[in-house]
C-alpha cells in the first residue's frame, strides 16, 4: 500500500504516453508550439507496462493514459491491451482531445479500455478553432458518438472555463448532460503557463450558480472515477455535471494520484516540478525492486497541498466533497 506523509492512500496513476499533440489549445501550448522530445527519450510501451505493473503491486488500482494527445502515438491500442490484462488493475481510462477518437474507439474498447474523457471547451465551430488553433469540432463530435457507441462508459466531457472566451456557453454545455448520457465536467482555468490571468478565472461557485438556470442541482453519485470533481445532476437528467475548483476550492486533501511523464519522471503533484526519475530503474534493464523504492520515494515527497490557490486567489479551503474522475 502506498500512503503519503499525511495519510492519503495513493491508488491512481496518470501515465503520459507522449509529449506530442495535434492541437495547440491556447491555455496549454503557445501558438508557435514547442520542441518535441526525441523519440529515444520517450518511454517505450514495454517500460510503461513495467512501471504500471510495479505500481499495481504497491496498491495502484486505476490508470489513466494521457499526453500530449495519447492517440497520436502509434500502437496505443496494443498498450491498452497489455495494461488491461494486468491483475489488480481495476480501471483503465483515457484522456483525449477527441479529434482521432472516432477511428479508434471501438478497438480501444475491445482492447480493454473502460472509459474516456474528451476535451470540449465550446459548441461553436469557429470558437473551437480559436481555442484549439487546429482540428474541427466535427471531428470531436464524431469521437463522442464513437465513444458512446463503443460502450466507453461513462463518457466525460472536460470544459476549461475561461471568462470572456467560453463562459457564455456554460449553460448550453451543461445541457448536454441533461439531454444525453454524458458527464460534463467544468474545470477552473489553472495558473499553469503564460495564458492564465485572474480576470479569466471563473470560480467554481459561479459555475454552479449559472448551471442552476437548468433547474435545481442535487449531488450525484455512482459515476465511475476517482478525480476531484464535485458531481451533480438535475431531476430527469440522463447525465451529470462535475465542477473542479482547482484554484478556489483546493481538493488536495483527497488527492490520490501520481503522474508519470512521457520521459519516465514520477511527479507527486501537477503543480510541483519535483519528480523522481524512474529511467535508471528501467534502462538498460528493468529492476522491479528499485522501481518499487522509487515509487515509495515519490509518494513520500508528495506535498500536502498545491500552491496554485495561494499564488493566484488567496488561501483556499480543502474540498472534501464527493469525487468524480
- Cell 472516432, located at residue: 102
Measure Cα distances from 22 to 18, 70, 152, 280 in Å: 11, 10, 22, 30
Does residue 319 carry a pLDDT above 60?
A: no
* Residue-averaged pLDDT of the chain: 91
Distances (CA, A) of 198 to 25, 192, 244, 258, 296: 18, 12, 17, 27, 36
In this structure, of 105-109, 288-292, 309-313, the range with the lowest mean pLDDT score is 309-313
Place of cell 480501471: 91
Separation of alpha carbons 157 and 116, rounded Å: 9
Query: Are 295 and 282 within 8 A, CB to CB?
Result: no
Q: Angle at CA 322, nearest 5°, toward 318 and 323?
A: 95
- Rounded average pLDDT over 5-11: 93
For the chain, domain boundaries: 12-312
For residue range 164-209, what is the model confidence (pLDDT) as tens digits? 999 999 999 999 999 899 999 999 998 876 787 889 999 999 999 9
Please say if the pLDDT value at position 309 is more than 80.
Answer: no
Q: Given this model, what pLDDT does residue 148 score?
A: 98
The pTM (predicted TM-score) of the whole model is: 0.92
What is the distance between the alpha carbons of residues 75 and 49, in angstroms, rounded to a whole number?
13
Superfamily of domain 12-312: Aldolase class I (3.20.20.70)
Dihedrals phi, psi of 58, to nearest 5 degrees: -100, -5
Q: What is the DSSP string of 31-75?
A: TT--PPPPGGGSPPHHHHHHHHHHHHHHT--EEEEESS-GGGSTT
Mean pLDDT, residues 214-243 taken together? 87
Higher pLDDT, 118 or 252: 118
Q: In the predicted model, what is the mean pLDDT of residues 205-221? A: 94
Contacts of 295 (CB under 8 A, 6+ apart): 2, 54, 55, 58, 258, 266
Amino acid at each position: 500500500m502506498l500512503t503519503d506523509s499525511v495519510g492519503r492512500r495513493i491508488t491512481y496513476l496518470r501515465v503520459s504516453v507522449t509529449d506530442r499533440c495535434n492541437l495547440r489549445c491556447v491555455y496549454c501550448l503557445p501558438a508557435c508550439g514547442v520542441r518535441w522530445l526525441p523519440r529515444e527519450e520517450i518511454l517505450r510501451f514495454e517500460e510503461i507496462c513495467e512501471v504500471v505493473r510495479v505500481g499495481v503491486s504497491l496498491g495502484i488500482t486505476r490508470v489513466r493514459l494521457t499526453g500530449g494527445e495519447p492517440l497520436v502515438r502509434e500502437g496505443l491500442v496494443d498498450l491498452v491491451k497489455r495494461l488491461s490484462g494486468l491483475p489488480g488493475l481495476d480501471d483503465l481510462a483515457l484522456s483525449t482531445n477527441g479529434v482521432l477518437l472516432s477511428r479508434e474507439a471501438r478497438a480501444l474498447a475491445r482492447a480493454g479500455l473502460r472509459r474516456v474523457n474528451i476535451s470540449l471547451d465550446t459548441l461553436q465551430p469557429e470558437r473551437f478553432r480559436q481555442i484549439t488553433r487546429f482540428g474541427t469540432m466535427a471531428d470531436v463530435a464524431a469521437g463522442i458518438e464513437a465513444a458512446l457507441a463503443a460502450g466507453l462508459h461513462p463518457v466525460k466531457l472536460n470544459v476549461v472555463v475561461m471568462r470572456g472566451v467560453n463562459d457564455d456557453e456554460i449553460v448550453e454545455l451543461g445541457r448536454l448532460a441533461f439531454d444525453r448520457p454524458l458527464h460534463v465536467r467544468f474545470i477552473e482555468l489553472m495558473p499553469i503557463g503564460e495564458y492564465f490571468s485572474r480576470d479569466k478565472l471563473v470560480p467554481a461557485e459561479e459555475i454552479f450558480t449559472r448551471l442552476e438556470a437548468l433547474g435545481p442541482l442535487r449531488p450525484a453519485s455512482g459515476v465511475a472515477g476517482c478525480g476531484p470533481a464535485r458531481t451533480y445532476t438535475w431531476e430527469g437528467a440522463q447525465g451529470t455535471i462535475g465542477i473542479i475548483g482547482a484554484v478556489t476550492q483546493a481538493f488536495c486533501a483527497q488527492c490520490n494520484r501520481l503522474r508519470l511523464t512521457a520521459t519516465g519522471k514520477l511527479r507527486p503533484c501537477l503543480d510541483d516540478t519535483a519528480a523522481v526519475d524512474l529511467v535508471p530503474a528501467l534502462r538498460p534493464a528493468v529492476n522491479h525492486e528499485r522501481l518499487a523504492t522509487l515509487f515509495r520515494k515519490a509518494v513520500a515527497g508528495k506535498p500536502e497541498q498545491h500552491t496554485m490557490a495561494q499564488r493566484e486567489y488567496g488561501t483556499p479551503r480543502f474540498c472534501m466533497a464527493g469525487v468524480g474522475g
